[in-house]
Amino acid sequence: MPITHSKLTFPSLFAETVQKFPNHPSYAFVGEDPISYKQSQQKIRAVMAFLEKLHAKPGDKIAFLSYNMPNWGISYFATTFMGAVAVPLLPDFHPFEIDKYIEHSGASVLFVSKNLEYKIKDIEFLMPPIIILMDDFSIVKSKVKNVFFDEQAVPIHEYNIQEDDLANIIYTSGTTGTPKGVMLSHKNIAFTAIKASIIQPIDAADRFLSILPLSHAYENTLGLILPMIYGASVFYLQKPPTSSILIPAMQAVKPSIMLTVPLIIEKIYRNTILPKFTKNPVLRVLYKNSFARKTFHFIIGIKLKKTFGGNLKFFGIGGAKLDKTVEKFLIEARFPYAIGYGLTETAPLLAGSSPFHTKLQYAGPALDGVELKINNPDPISGEGEIVAKGPNVMLGYYLEPELTKAAYDKDGWLKTGDLGMVDAGNFLAIKGRLKNMIVMQNGENVYPEEIENVINNFRYVGESLVVEQKGKLVALVYFNKEEISEKYEHLKTEISMYVDQKVDELKVELTEYVNKRVNKFSRVQLVIAQDDPFKKTATHKIKRFLYTK
C-alpha cells in the first residue's frame, strides 16, 4: 500500500523523513562516511541562516554551477525550503551559456564548486553580486560584509511553502539549439518522485550511486528527491565516471539503485563484451547461434552484476533511446535494467517499467496519475506525436509566454515533440523526435535514430548521425581510430596511413552492412567520416542542430 504524504513540498517531505529515519545515512562521497538525515537537516538550516544574512528571500533566484557532491543537495534544499528558486546549471555549459542563463533568470546568488570556478573567471563582472563556494560555503564575492557560514546557525524566519510554489528553473541544453528555462513546482517534482516509487519501491536500506548531473531533471528528481523521501542514502563520485573510477566505486558502495543514460551501458557492451566474441574465430561462429549466444550472455550477466557491486536491483536507463541490440543483451543477461521516458517539462518521468517487466524497445506504461495519448496516429502504423497531461507537467517556460502557449495543443495537452505508439498492453514505444524525422522526396518518413542504431553496431563505429543532404540520406560516422590502431599496432610507422586507409574501406563495408538491414527508404547513400566525437547534451544525446544546418 503506497505511503501517503501530508504535503508535496520539499521541506514537508524532508521533515517526514527526519522524523522516521533521523540517524539513517543520507549523503556522502564514495569512500567517506555519510552524514545522517538529522545532521543533513541541521546543515540545511545553517545554510538557510547563511542565505538570510546575505539578504536572500523567498522568490529570489539562486544558481548552482557544480559537479555532484553532498553539499549540492544541502544547498538545493536550503534554497527551496526558504521559498527561493533553484537555477541548476549543467557543469558542461560554456561560460557564454552560464552568463546568458544567469542573466535571464535574474539570479542574485551563485553556488559554484572549486573545480568549476574557472568557468566564471572571464565573465565575473556579469556574475550575481553574491558567489559562494559550494565545497565549504566560503564567500567568493559578496556585497554584504562580515558574513560567514556557521554550522550551528538556524534561520530566523519561518517559511510557509506551498505545493504550487516554483522550486526550479532548469535550462535544457537541448538537441535543437534553443534552450529554455523550464519552471517546475514542488508538486511537479515530488509527485513524479512518489509515483516513480510505484514502478520501483524504494526504502531506507537502498543505496544510490549518483553519476549523472544533479542539475539535470532526471537525476534531480529521481536521484535526489526520490531517495530523500524514503530515507535512502546517496553516494557521489569525486571524479568523472570513467571505468577506472566507476568500477572501484561500485565495489565500495554496492549500490542497489543506479540511474544512467544509454551511452554508458552501450559503451560497456561494445567496448568490453562484444569484442570477447568478435576477436576469437571460434567464439565468433558460436555467437551466431541463438542458444549459444543466450548462454554466453547469461554467464556474462552474472559477472556484470558482480562488477556493479553485486547488490544492484534497479539500473534505470533514460534520457535517450536504448540501442536494440544492447537491450537484447541486457534481457538475455537477466540484468536488472529498466527504461524510463520523459522530458524536463514533465519533471521528468512520463512512462516507465520495472526490471524484468520490460518489453524490447518499449519505455513502459504511463506513470500512475499521468495521461498519455498519441495525437493523430497514423492509421496503419499507429504512430503519432506523444502528448501528456498530469500533475508533473511544468508551470511553463520562464519569461516566455509565447513559447509556453506553443507547448500545448488546443485541448491543453503538452506536446512532447516525440513520435511514438502504444501497444495493446498500454506500453509506450518511442520512434524518435518529430523534428528529427526526415520526409524523403517520395513522401516516405524516415527515422534517423533507427538507422543510427544499425550503424552503431558495426565494428569500429563509435557513434553516428544520419542526416538528409540534397534529397539523399547521409551517415556522419565517428570511427574509433584508437581501436583500429590497437589492432594494427604491429605496423609501427605506417599505422597512421593504414588507419586512414582502413577507415575508407570501412565506409564502403558500412554502407553495404546498413543497407542490408534497413528498408529501401532508409538506405544510406553516403558515409562521411568525422574526425572528432559529436558534441553532446548532458544526457549524452548528440546536438543534432549543429550537424543538420
Give 42-85 pLDDT, tens digit per residue: 999 999 999 999 999 999 999 999 999 999 999 999 999 999 99
Per-residue pLDDT tens for 279-328? 888 888 999 899 999 999 999 999 999 999 999 999 999 988 899 999 99
**Which cell goes with 449?**
535514430
Report yes or no: 388 and 350 within 8 Å, Cβ to Cβ: yes
Per-residue pLDDT tens for 426-461? 999 998 888 888 877 666 778 888 898 889 888 889
The structural domains of the chain, with segments of one domain joined by +, span 10-184, 261-433, 461-546
Strands across the sheet containing 138-141: 138-141, 130-133, 109-112, 61-65, 85-89, 166-171, 181-185, 396-397
- Percent of the chain with pLDDT strictly greater than 70: 95
Strands across the sheet containing 384-389: 371-375, 384-389, 414-422, 428-433
Q: CATH number of the domain at 461-546, please?
A: 3.30.300
How high is the pLDDT of residue 91? 93
Using N-to-C axis directions, what is the helix angle for 186-199 and 10-20, rounded to 10°?
50
How high is the pLDDT of residue 304? 95
d(CA 366, CA 350): 6
In this predicted structure, the answer to whether residue 14 has a pLDDT above a threshold of 90 is yes
Q: What is the DSSP code (8-state) at residue 537?
A: -
The answer to which of 169-183, 255-269, 342-356, 418-432 has the lowest mean pLDDT is 169-183
Backbone angles phi and psi of 364, in degrees to 5: 125, 180
In this predicted structure, the answer to whether residue 355 has a pLDDT above a threshold of 60 is yes
pLDDT, greater one: 493 or 241: 241
User: Cα 454 to chain center, whole Å?
Assistant: 23
Quote the pTM value: 0.89
How high is the pLDDT of residue 263? 86
In this predicted structure, the answer to whether residue 261 has a pLDDT above a threshold of 60 is yes
pLDDT band at 278 (very low <50, low <70, confident <90, very high): confident
How high is the pLDDT of residue 472? 87
d(CA 382, CA 284): 38
Report yes or no: 430 and 381 within 8 Å, Cβ to Cβ: no
Mean pLDDT of 342-362: 96
In this predicted structure, the answer to whether residue 1 has a pLDDT above a threshold of 50 is no
Report yes or no: 79 and 137 within 8 Å, Cβ to Cβ: no
How high is the pLDDT of residue 157? 97
pLDDT band at 174 (very low <50, low <70, confident <90, very high): low
d(CA 186, CA 192): 10
171 bridge partner residues: 181
Helix count and strand count (H, E) for the chain: 17, 25
d(CA 430, CA 319): 12
How high is the pLDDT of residue 546? 84
d(CA 45, CA 62): 16
Q: Which CATH architecture has domain 261-433?
A: 3-Layer(aba) Sandwich (3.40)
The answer to which of 70-79, 173-182, 508-517 has the lowest mean pLDDT is 173-182
Q: Do domains 10-184 and 461-546 have the same CATH topology?
A: no
| 3-state secondary structure (DSSP) of residue 435 | coil
223 Ramachandran zone, left/alpha/beta (phi>0; psi -120 to 50): alpha
Bridge pairing between strands 61-65 and 233-236: unpaired
In 3D space, the residue among 510, 523, 502 whose CA is nearest the CA of residue 456 turns out to be 510
**Which cell goes with 187?**
508538486
Q: CATH number of the domain at 10-184, please?
A: 3.40.50.12780
pLDDT band at 483 (very low <50, low <70, confident <90, very high): confident
Report yes or no: 259 and 196 within 8 Å, Cβ to Cβ: no
Mean pLDDT of 186-198: 98
Mean pLDDT of 539-547: 80
In this predicted structure, the answer to whether residue 99 has a pLDDT above a threshold of 60 is yes
How high is the pLDDT of residue 129? 94
Mean pLDDT of 514-521: 87
Per-residue pLDDT tens for 464-478? 999 988 888 999 999
Mean pLDDT of 158-182: 85
